[in-house]
Amino acid sequence: MKLSVAIADEHASANAFVVFRGIDTSVKKAHALGYDGVELALKDPTEIDRSHLKKLLQENGMAVSAVSTGQVWAARSLCFTEEDEGKRDEVRKAFHSFIDIASDFGQLVNIGRTRGGINGRDPKLCGRLFVDMAQELSDYAAPRGVRLILEPVNRYEIDFVNNLDECAEQVKLVGRSNFSMMPDVFHMNIEDAHIGEALFRNRDIISYIHFADTNRHAPGDGHMDWDEIFGALQAIGYKGWTTVEILPYPDPDTAAKRAVDFLKGVYGRYYGDC
Applying CB under 5 A, the residues found at the interface with Mn ion are 184, 210, 245
Degrees (nearest 5) of the Cα angle 44, 47, 52?
A: 145
When the beta carbons of 56 and 219 are compared against ligand LER, the nearer one is 219
When the beta carbons of 210 and 258 are compared against ligand LER, the nearer one is 210
Question: What residue type is 27 in one-letter code?
Answer: V
- Picked from Mn ion, ligand LER, none, the partner binding residue 258 (CB below 5 to 8 A depending on kind) is none
Does 157 interact with ligand LER (rule: CB under 6 A)?
Answer: yes
CB atoms closer than 10 angstroms to residue 52: 11
Q: How far is the CB of 32 from Mn ion (least distance, A)?
A: 24
User: Which three-class secondary structure state does DSSP give residue 73?
Assistant: helix
CA distance 26 to 32: 10
CA distances from 136 to 98, 104, 127, 224 (A): 14, 20, 14, 37
Return the closest-CA partner of residue 48 out of 4, 5, 107, 7. 7
Q: By CB under 6 A, name the one of 184, 191, 192, 213 that touches ligand LER.
A: 184
User: What DSSP state is assigned to residue 272?
Assistant: S
In sequence order, what DSSP letters do the residues of 116-171 get, joined into one string? ---TTS-HHHHHHHHHHHHHHHHHHHGGGT-EEEE----TTT-SS--SHHHHHHHH
- Picked from ligand LER, Mn ion, none, the partner binding residue 157 (CB below 5 to 8 A depending on kind) is ligand LER
- Picked from ligand LER, Mn ion, none, the partner binding residue 113 (CB below 5 to 8 A depending on kind) is ligand LER
When the beta carbons of 56 and 224 are compared against Mn ion, the nearer one is 224
Does 112 interact with ligand LER (rule: CB under 6 A)?
Answer: yes
Does 258 interact with ligand LER (rule: CB under 6 A)?
Answer: no
Question: What residue type is 48 in one-letter code?
Answer: I
Does 151 interact with ligand LER (rule: CB under 6 A)?
Answer: yes
Q: By CB under 6 A, name the one of 37, 70, 152, 183 that touches ligand LER.
A: 70
Q: By CB under 6 A, name the one of 29, 88, 147, 210 that touches ligand LER.
A: 210
**Binding site residues, ligand LER, CB under 6 A:** 17, 68, 70, 112-113, 151, 153, 157, 184, 210, 245
